[in-house]
Amino acid sequence: MSVYLDHAATTPLRECALDAWTRAQRDLAATPGNPAALHFGGRRARRMLDDAREQVAEALGADIHEVIFTSGATESDALGVMAAARGMRGREEFRALIVVSGVEHDAVAHQREVASREGFSWEVLPVDAGGVSILPVVGGHDAPPSWDGRLAVGSMALVPSEIGTIQPVADFVELVHASGGLAHSDAAQAIPTLDVSFAGLGLDLMSVGGHKIGAPAGTGVLLARRGIPMTTDRPGGGHERSIRSGTPDVAGACALAAALTEVVSERAAFAAHAADLRAHLLAHLPDGVVPTAGESASCPAIIHLSLPTARPEAVLMAFDMAGIAVSAGSACHAGVTRPSDIVMAMGRTEEQALGVLRVSLGRETTRDDIDAFLSALPTAMRAGAALDGVAHVRNERNEER
């Protein structure tokens, strides 16, 4: 038996997406054409792409001309933050400040290195103990003094992929706009359970990743409001409003549109299903395991837990041996585990930021899956505690020397 509880990392390809992709590839094979070509094959491919664009726009509360197809949320985030920041500074040279929340995905957070090389200033908002961004306090609709006249772009995820807390994006957008900047949000984790409307949120830019909603990996969308200044670092043939050049993946766009349409149609039912499973899991946690974000409002499909261990690799290995796929909230690179930056931003110690676990749910997840996780959790905790003990003995011996 295997149990998959890592849907926030990637979720299975939906049948509707596979059908749309297969149908599009067959049509393109029968009548080849680049969407930019003027002949009948090109016109057919362009119609397919435009139909997909229209579906995406309808599902996300956007205009068809605001939809830019990309390779995923990571590329969309990079374009959404940096292309917009360059464009704003090109229009007004003093707009060289980028403000982001302290719970952003690496796709946004690591743009700091790019921004620094290009002469932008970077500000990270603080986070409270419940994993919610703390906004500057201003009067009425005023702009924060340090942002006014300087802000180029502000970015805040609707739901951070690691801890799943719902962020105050609407209030953040008001502050960004009061400062004259552009507002971006990564909505990749929010779409399956929250009502996401590009126009309703008042955003200027929004990122979506295909494989988080059952579309193929390598597909994504950046919504960009018409008329905003954007200067891309990848010029080419002028595709996708000259922001993301390159021959578009027509079949991938069709698959993404199909998956997104289905996800939105199932949103209310899945949110209720996930909330029920979440409540069941939280009600049966053993002593010592608590939700990291406490009582903060969260996406029902992402459950972030704090464990009394600093050895997440042992915990994950124990779950893996039990046939259960979950993830550490901390990032693992080349087998080396490091503390979660987001959990540390919430005021936790390095050790506490290591002892975390993320359980993320999909539409296929059942109560039996949750029960299997709960049954395996005590063994996984003992595995972590055993390594904690070994590390403690080693530290004592080193101190004696």
Catalytic residues: 332
C-alpha 244/C-alpha 168 separation (Å) is: 29
Q: Measured between alpha carbons, how far is residue 211 from residues 40, 85, 144, 386 in Å?
A: 31, 27, 37, 36
For tokens 């915990």, what's the residue?
315
Indicate the residue type of 360.
S
Q: Where are the beta strands (DSSP E) in 106-259?
A: 121-124, 151-155, 182-186, 205-209, 220-224
C-alpha 186/C-alpha 292 separation (Å) is: 22
C-alpha 354/C-alpha 327 separation (Å) is: 12
Residues 6 or more apart in contact with residue 291 via CB below 8 angstroms:
282, 303, 304, 305, 306
For helices 40-60 and 250-283, the axis angle rounded to 10 degrees is: 20
Pairing, β 3-4 against β 324-325: parallel
Helix ranges, 284-366 (H)? 312-321, 341-345, 350-354
What kind and span of H or E run contains 302? strand 302-306
